[in-house]
Structure 1
Amino acid sequence: AMLFLPATLANFMNNPDNYGEQSNIFKNALDTLTTWLSPTYTVPGLPLSTGWVYGLTYFFLIFGFSFFYASLVVNPTDMALNLKRQGVAIPGIRPGSATATYLSGVINRLTLIGGSFLGLIAIIPNVVYSFTGTGVLQGLGATSLLILVGVAIETAKQLQTNVISQRYEGMVRQ
């Protein structure tokens, strides 16, 4: 939604009666930004450049929001305090602020990996479009891809469980 904010503002400013001629500079800047952030914008003379500004912006927005969300949801200081209250300690780490610092580092590393993965999954349709020129995956958003991957992994786990259980059933019957 944030990527389409310049287009929304540019459409809002299309009527010069609303803001007069002073807004032309702002409107022109919004129009240029809207063009650059378009998923189908191609740099003239540069092959495989379709939507690269959109893709990079989309990747970094997802990457940044993953850190923002992790900082809101997970509080390493509270986790360290809860571990200390329960008498649990991480081996090699002193309870208290050292544990909070250690947990903060672990959370940042995990968020770095997870945010990168989410960003890559989100831009897969744009990369495919850039290389092939077909928009088959354009309607397939990042959320849809995550759901598809999750369902595929869960289906594979269930198949493995069924194969193992059938193997054990054969052993029990004999």
Structure 2
Amino acid sequence: MFQTLKNAWSMPELRKKMLYTLFIILIFRFGSCIPVPFIDTTLLSQYFEQASVNGSMLGYLDMFTGGGLSRATIFAMSITPYINASIILQLLTVAIPALERMVKDGGEEGREKIASWTRYLGVLLGLLQGLSYYALLRNGFGGKTMLSNTGALAAVTIIVTFTAGTALIMWMGEHITQKGIGNGISIILFAGIVSRGPSLMRTLANLFQTGTSGIVSGIVMIIVGLAIVVFIVYMSNAERRIPVQYAKRVVGRKMYGGQSTHLPIKVNASGVMPIIFASSILSLPQTISMFWQPESGSVGAHILNLFSQTSVFYIVLYALLILAFAYFYASIQFNPIEIANNLKKNGGFIPGFRPGKPTSDFITKALGKVTFVGALFLAVVALLPLIVGAVNSSLRNVALGGTSVIIVVGVALDTVKQMEAQMLMRHHKGFLE
């Protein structure tokens, strides 16, 4: 990976893209440190500390924002509204035939229209989340409001600032995708999570200072973390190779075809998106709780407690959503009927299966098995730290690192692969050797 970065830096065009990406990340981190006016950040930090101890989803959302949510900065909403908007539009595209035709047959114009609708919906969701966050600040903590000014002008300023921050982050993410390196949404999530690294190191350091049990827990977490990283890298590069044979054909005096190749199906073709989408959906109850805080012991309080990260219901639902989104992304990326038709047109076939429907059925069956293994891998790696945090309350903050490790490693691998692909297209001598 380091050699790839070195080779990419030596190429002027890629160096400009890398510098542009770093510049956008710098702006994002700078905005994540600018607090919104009229908010008591000291009381807010105390509220988030208690929420983290109780296993609330707020600590999870704060991880995605790089600490911006707990500090009430202009980027407190982060990229979450845009992700939720993307989920809604992609599901609607599958459910509504007119939108599906727009994407498939509309070409670049259709995709641009869907992207434009995603932006508008992202801003609208950012406004709703800004309203919910303002309601949380106004309700206060410990009988005290977290606002230094409860006037109408202050309310408008806070909500509009949060919404504008969401729109600016969407703009930055799209520009990273267009002019930088990697996927813009993933890169911003990556930057926010990595910025929480020092906090995780302090948590581990505190464990080592609590005595023998803390030292053992810290060593176990480090070993498990390294094992998870190795496992993620291995599974991210794993693939099922379906053999493909091309028939020989004579054109004039020359013979073509006859070679053997393979059809690769990656075990984790969807990357980290199922986890990101599942996390975003499970954050909706916490958003609702910002508007409405039920009394302790009421039915509403019990329902919201089900979405605590230490809840069995939450862990099971999280796993099911990861499985569902993994299959959803696999169905979008692979069309077995189209693959079978292309093989038939080019004179290719899978040994032991006739061209056409038998080939399509075999690819569908193989894709289902591979997708299940990839989804199971994502679910295990995402849920293992949560289960550890539910069993040992002192490790709840560390448990937040489970999903973050998947995202960080997955984004790093995808970005390096994009660099390698761009260097390959430019015939980079050092890379080809």
Q: 1:123 matched to which residue of 2?
A: 383
Say if 2:306 is the partner of 1:8. Answer: no
TM-score w.r.t. length of structure 1: 0.65
Q: 1:93 matched to which residue of 2?
A: 353
Say if 2:403 is the partner of 1:142. Answer: yes
Q: 1:103 matched to which residue of 2?
A: 363
Q: Distance in 2 between matches of 1:136 and 1:9?
A: 23
8 Å contact kept, 2:384–2:402: no
Q: Evaluate the alpha carbon distance shift between residue 72 and residue 30 of structure 1 in structure 2; reply closer, same or farther with a 3 A threshold.
A: farther
Q: Deviations over 1:75-115 (max 9, x none)?
A: 00111011111111001101011111110000001111111
Q: Distance in 1 between matches of 2:300 and 2:411?
A: 38
CA offset at residue 29 of structure 1? 5.5
Structure with more relative contact order (C-alpha pairs < 8 Å, separation 6 or more):
2
CA offset at residue 130 of structure 1? 2.5
Q: Distance in 2 between matches of 1:58 and 1:114?
A: 15
Q: Distance in 1 between matches of 2:407 and 2:380?
A: 11
2:287 aligned partner, one-letter code: T
Q: Deviations over 1:31-58 (max 9, x none)?
A: 4322111113xxxxxxxxxx32211111
Say if 2:330 is the partner of 1:75. Answer: no
Equivalent residue in structure 1 for 2:305, among 27, 35, 50: 35
8 Å contact kept, 1:3–1:37: yes
Identity over the aligned pairs, expressed in percent? 29
Q: Deviations over 1:50-73 (max 9, x none)?
A: x32211111111011100110111
Of 29-38 and 65-74, more deviation after overlay is shown by 29-38
CA offset at residue 146 of structure 1? 5.7
**In angstroms, what is the RMSD of aligned CA positions?**
2.5
Q: Deviations over 1:117-151 (max 9, x none)?
A: 11111112112112333224323142523644898
Q: 1:53 matched to which residue of 2?
A: 313
Q: 1:172 matched to which residue of 2?
A: none
Q: Evaluate the alpha carbon distance shift between residue 86 and residue 141 of structure 1 in structure 2; reply closer, same or farther with a 3 A threshold.
A: same
Residue segments in structure 1 that go unaligned for 5+ positions in a row: 15-23, 41-50, 153-174
Q: Distance in 2 between matches of 1:30 and 1:73?
A: 40
Q: Distance in 2 between matches of 1:31 and 1:68?
A: 32
1:39 aligned partner, one-letter code: Q
Q: Evaluate the alpha carbon distance shift between residue 112 and residue 88 of structure 1 in structure 2; reply closer, same or farther with a 3 A threshold.
A: same
1:7 aligned partner, one-letter code: Q
Q: Distance in 2 between matches of 1:31 and 1:8?
A: 14
CA offset at residue 7 of structure 1? 2.4
2:405 aligned partner, one-letter code: S
SS at match of 1:145: helix
2:398 aligned partner, one-letter code: L
8 Å contact kept, 1:4–1:34: no
Aligned length: 130
Q: Distance in 1 between matches of 2:282 and 2:363?
A: 33
SS at match of 1:58: helix
TM-score w.r.t. length of structure 2: 0.28
Bigger proportion of residues as strand: 2
Q: 1:171 matched to which residue of 2?
A: none
SS at match of 1:137: helix
Q: Distance in 2 between matches of 1:30 and 1:55?
A: 19
Q: 2:431 matched to which residue of 1?
A: none
Q: Evaluate the alpha carbon distance shift between residue 74 and residue 138 of structure 1 in structure 2; reply closer, same or farther with a 3 A threshold.
A: same
Q: Distance in 1 between matches of 2:288 and 2:300?
A: 7
